[in-house]
Structure formats: structure tokens, C-alpha cells
Chains A and B, each alone.
Chain A
Amino acid sequence: MKRILLACSSGMSTSLLVQKMKEAAEKRGIEAEIWAVAQDKAESEMSHADCLLIGPQMRFLKKKLEKTAEANGIPLDIIDPIAYGRIDGEAVLIKALDLIGE
């Protein structure tokens, strides 16, 4: 079970991506829990996630979130802007799996 957390300003635009990522995961037969939250919830949600992806428009939060991510021992990264614009669930899923390290 892979647990992938996405965060943006209010969790709206990342939730578009969540749907596409879920479809991509299903197609590949990967069991994954993928969800999106607003940035102020990101820190508390990290405790039950395997990795965190940040919307590119909120990339200035990386430094702040990095500390909590480290404390939780999970990797984090910023979603590629082009994949974000295309709502390319597959590309982002692959990136998430890469981050988790499988």
C-alpha cells in the first residue's frame, strides 16, 4: 500500500490530479491511497503518508514543510509544472513511486 499525499493552497487543484492518479494506479494494478489537502493541513497529515508532493504554485513552502517531512522520515518534492498543467496523473504517480523508492 502506497500512501501519497498532495498539498496545494486549498487542496482544490491537487484534488483534480488525485482523481487522475488514482485511475493511473488502478490501471497499473498498484494499491495506493492518494489524497489532497490544503497547505495548512499538510504538516499534520504527513504522519500517515509515504511521500508528499507539493503543487508548483506553492513551491515556496518546500523549505517549511521539509522539516516536518524529515521528522516523519518521508521524502517530498514539487510536482512538475507541465505535468501539473496537463493533469497528467500517470507522470505524477511515477514520480511519487520513484520518491518512495520502488
Chain B
Amino acid sequence: MNKFMTFLENVLLPIADKLNNNRYLTALRDGFMVALPLIIFGSIFVVIANFPFLDRILSKSAYQAYQNALGPASQATLSIMGLFVIIGIGYKLLQRYGGEAIYGGIVAIASFLILTPQTVEKVAGVIPAASLGAQGMFLGILTAFTSVELYRFFVNKNWTIKMPQGVPDAVSRSFSSLIPITLTLTVFLIIRILFSLTPYETVQNFIYTVLQEPLTALGSGLAATIVAVILIQIFWFFGLHGQIIVNSVFDPIWYTLNNQNLEAFQHGQALPNIITKQFVDSFLVGMGGSGMTLAVVILIFIIGRSRQIKELGKLGGPAGIFNVNEPIIFGLPIIMNPLVLIPWIIAPVVVTIVTYFSMATGLVPKPAGIIVPWTTPIVLNGFLATGNAWQGGVLQLVNLLIVMAIWWPFLKVLDKNYYEKEKSGAQ
């Protein structure tokens, strides 16, 4: 068993290392981090605009006016999050190369806008908001990567305009980026023109059809989600931060699915997706942290007899309410502990399946596309995620009981082990 563990660790650590130190994935993750405050801001106002019962208390026109008044908060942030993610990626990627980061941000966003349709139903001078949100997410990410690479390539060519001595530094800096930006944007303009000659008409349309649609269709399925969940759990089992590693691959898909739901939710249409960013964050992480360890903490208070376990419950409990569970993961310990491997992997998979089908059958509303901060405690978390639906909160409680039932026998054995060790040690 030990040899096998060492072997797996030797396989997993380099994977985690590669995924996390890959400059594109790092820029992608940090780019989403840049957009996160805006995403949360927008989410807060979606929640406020859709408070339960308001539609029954207020007259129809008053409710409409209320929603219209709050609408711009999310429409200017959450709905067009692609825009901010692109700036973030461009900035972070160029920063990593040691260039002047802000130019990375603007060259990325300008390149993206060049590729974006600029007419809506023959009306010129408009950019469809949807292309800045879910629809343009993949194109935006790819454009941010390639535009910064091109920009850097042209900077390295040193075709920059050299300023004579005595010119203030800031002035010569603004000129030094002129040629690389001009060349980079010209390349994207040519790409746009070339695509207008194809049946796809726009690059957006092309990327959406050949890349984004198939990938999101795959990512929205139950099977892919279970694979992601198992991967997260296995990484954590070896003491590596599973979400950080897996999210860097899945986030573009999960956020895209999320924004599709948000668009539908805001227009009062049926929600298209079950699997979204918030499905994962609320129903898999939002129950005490990865692996739903809040259930373990509660079990400790119910059946714990050994001093070590009880102490851990007190230590890890308060943080667990806010979904921080490193004390439990490293303290129980869960890492490298064959005794808990089975519930550690099985419980999240069972919860994923239960949550998926309770939404597929309509028992619980699907996630509304609102991004709930991951530290939001259970019940409230599920309530907000499903667009202020009490069923979302109840589902989290049901899931909690399921996890407790799966863990019960295993925690009992572990506790007994510790208890007997403590007893024999005391004698």
C-alpha cells in the first residue's frame, strides 16, 4: 500500500506542478480572480432583484420598475464578465513575462473587440452584450493568449521607436508599445476579414461552433462532472489543493454554463444547464469545503470518543461552517489515510448524482447563474445559488445527511483506533 501511495504521489505532484505552473492556466486562473469582485457584485444585485415573495407583494408594474432599476448592476458586471476576464488574463500573462502589464490587458481586449460582431440586426455601432458574456468566453480567452504572445513577439523584435535622450520615461514608454500594438491588432483585423469570407462569417461564431459548444456540452454532462469530482478528491487525498488544480481546466466551461443560466434567469426563461460553476461551488464545495467535511465535523460531535478526534472537531468546526476545511483534511487526517479513502471519494460522487437528478426532475430549481462567495455557509448557500429557492437549501441538508451516513462506519473505526491507542498510552 505504501509503495503504491508513493508511486501515485510521484505521478500526481508533477501533474499539479505542470497545471499550476503552466503560464496560460495561471494567467487564466488569475484573470478570473481579477473579475471575481465584479462577478460577486453583480450576483448580489441579482439576488436582491429577485427576493422571494416581492413579486406577490408588489404590483406587476412596481415589481418591473424595481427589477429594471437594479438590472444594470448585474448587466454591467456579471453578464459581461468575459470582458473583465480577458483584461485580467492579458494583464497577468504579460506581467508574468515581465512586460508592462497594462498593455497586455488593453491589447487583449482590443484584439477581442476587433473579432467581435459590431452590428446587431443590421444596426451598426453596437456590440452585442451576449458576446461579452457567455458566448464570447472561449474566443476571449484564446484571443487574450494569442494577442499577448504576438505583442511580446513584436516587442522582442525591437521594432520599437527609440526616443532620443532627455525624453521623459513615460513618454518613450507610450511610444515603445505603439508598433507592437499596431502590428498585433492588424493581425487580428486580417483574421476578422478572412473569417468574414467563410460560411462562419465571424470568428466568434467559428470558435463558438467548433470549440465552445462541443466542450461545454461535454462539460455540462454528469459523467464529466463525476470525473472532475473524483480528480479533485484524489488530489486532496494526496494533500494537494484539488479545486485549484482542476478548476484551472474546468472554469471556462463552468463559467460559460453559468452565464447561460443567468441570461435565461434574467429573462424568465427555462434554465438550460444543471452543471454550472455554482453547482460545483455550492453543492460540492459549499458544505464545509471540499469533500463536504462539515458532515464529518457534525459526526465527530455525535460519535467521537477519542480525545484527538474531539479536539479536531472543536478546532475545525468554526472554520468548517465557512467552508474552510484544511484542519480536517490535514488533522483527521484525510490525506494518505486509507481508512477514509472510500467515503472521501464515494460521498461527493453520490451527492453529485443526487443533486443532479433532483434538479433534472425539477424537484429543486437549477442554479440561477448567481455566483455565491464560496465561504457562504450551507443552506443559505444553496438558497442563493438556486435563485432564492428554499429547495436549494433543503437539498444541501439532505446531502449533508447522505454524507454523514456514508462516513458513519468509517469514522467510527477511525475513532475507535484513536480511542484505544489513547487508552493504552495512558496506562
By a beta-carbon cutoff of 8 Å, the part of chain A in contact with chain B is 8-9, 12-13, 16, 38-40, 55-61, 63-64, 81-82, 84-87
Contacts and interface: CB of A to CB of B under 8 A. Distances in A.
Contacts of B21: 60-61, 63-64
A21 to B, nearest CB: 15
Given A81-B330, A86-B331, A12 B324 contact: yes
Interface in B1-60: 13, 16-17, 20-21, 29-30, 33
A56 B330 contact: yes
Interface stretch (B141-149, B180-188, B239-247, B339-347): B239-247
B239 A57 contact: yes
Contact of A60 (B16, B236, B319, B332): B16
Nearest to B238: A57
Contacts of A39: 244
A58 B244 contact: yes
Interface in B308-345: 312, 315, 319, 322, 324-333, 335
A37 to B, nearest CB: 12
Contacts of B241: 8-9, 55, 57-58
Contact of A87 (B236, B243, B327): B327
B33 A40 contact: yes
A43 to B, nearest CB: 10
B333 A81 contact: yes
26 contacts: A9-B243, A9-B244, A13-B319, A13-B324, A13-B326, A13-B327, A16-B324, A40-B29, A57-B240, A57-B241, A57-B326, A58-B244, A60-B13, A60-B245, A61-B21, A81-B239, A81-B330, A81-B333, A81-B335, A82-B330, A85-B312, A85-B326, A85-B327, A85-B329, A85-B330, A85-B333
B273 interface: no
B276 interface: no
A16 B16 contact: no
B329 A57 contact: yes
A79 B139 CA distance: 40
Nearest to B20: A60
Interface in B86-136: none
Contacts of A12: 319, 322, 324, 375
A85 B327 CA distance: 4
Contact of A40 (B30, B240, B322, B333): B30
A29 B333 CA distance: 32
Nearest to A80: B330
Nearest to A12: B324
A60 B10 CA distance: 12
The 7 closest A-B pairs by CB, nearest first: A85-B330, A85-B331, A13-B326, A60-B16, A57-B241, A60-B17, A84-B330
Contact of B20 (A8, A16, A61, A82): A61
A63 B326 contact: no
Contacts of B319: 12-13, 16
Nearest to A44: B95
Contacts of A86: 315, 327, 331
A82 B308 CA distance: 13
B266 to A, nearest CB: 29
